[in-house]
Amino acid sequence: MSSGKLYIVGVGPGSHDHMTFRAKEVITQSDTIVGYDTYVGLVEDLIQGKEIHRYAMTQEVERAKQCIELAQSGKIVSLVSSGDPGIYGMAGLIYETLAEAGWDPKTGLEVEVVPGVSALNSCASLIGSPLMTDFAVVSMSDLLVPWEIITKRVEAAAQGDYVIVIYNPSSKKRIHQLQDTRKLLLKYRKPSTPVAIIKGAYRESETIVMTDLENMENHADKLGMISTVIIGNSSTYNFKNLMINPRGYTSKYNLQT
């Protein structure tokens, strides 16, 4: 059995205040750091003197293979990701790669996923209480998932009256996806349905736009790969620029002081 270990670490939205104690601990214990260049930059002050491997955005497979090879050679490796690595992150690709190679979790390379604060948590915390009832999370990226399947999932969430969190809403090459989603949602939801667009949560570039389904397209300049869109359900409402999704307490209790 290799004496190395692979940590798949979620560092949260970017601010060290929102990084878990365990994430900081394993990064400190690691002798090797691997990650997408932007994510490595989020922990720059914690990795001085370590062996660092930086990658471009589209090199996920190479990143996964190198992490595994380094750990199998005896290195203590931290593969860093923003948010949570188990939510649209690198954890899945690492486990898929290991499974294809016949890896045994009990006797093979030791792997630990260190969870982090995902965009759905960090963005929700900035705009009130939008996720108090059932919600669905959908990525608009169709690089790995066919657009027809994404559309089917969005429609199911719309029919089920779920609050919807949208990851990767658009990029330079992907514009129609969110436009199509908006049209689809308007079949089931009022134009006045609250919408929040959060870009760069807890980073210096943070911007927040509170709008509605009818006017969402007017804020296309706030959309991008580090943006998250939260779309309310039939009971969601705005209160002084906050989004509130009632849990149902008012039907059973008197909330007035």
Q: Which two three-digit tokens encode residue 225? A: 């790969």
- Whether 171 contacts 224, CB under 8 Å: yes
H-run or E-run covering 71 = helix 60-72
- Residues with Cβ < 8 Å from 17, sequence gap 6 or more? 202
Tell me the angle at which helices 60-72 and 91-100 cross, rounded to the nearest 10 degrees.
60
Cβ neighbours of residue 215 closer than 8 Å, sequence gap 6 or more? none
For residue 59, give Cα distances in angstroms to 5, 52, 63, 66: 22, 15, 6, 11
Closest by CA to 195, choosing from 226, 162, 163, is 163
- Please give the DSSP secondary-structure letter assigned to residue 99: H
Choosing from 5, 17, 31, 37, which is the catalytic residue? 37
Is 37 a known active-site residue? Answer: yes
Annotated catalytic residue, options 24, 31, 45, 50 = 50
Please give the torsion angle defined by the CA atoms of residues 215, 221, 226 and 232, in that order, rounded to the nearest 10 degrees. Answer: 0
Alpha helices (H) along 139-202 = 147-159, 176-185
Q: Which residues are catalytic?
A: 37, 50
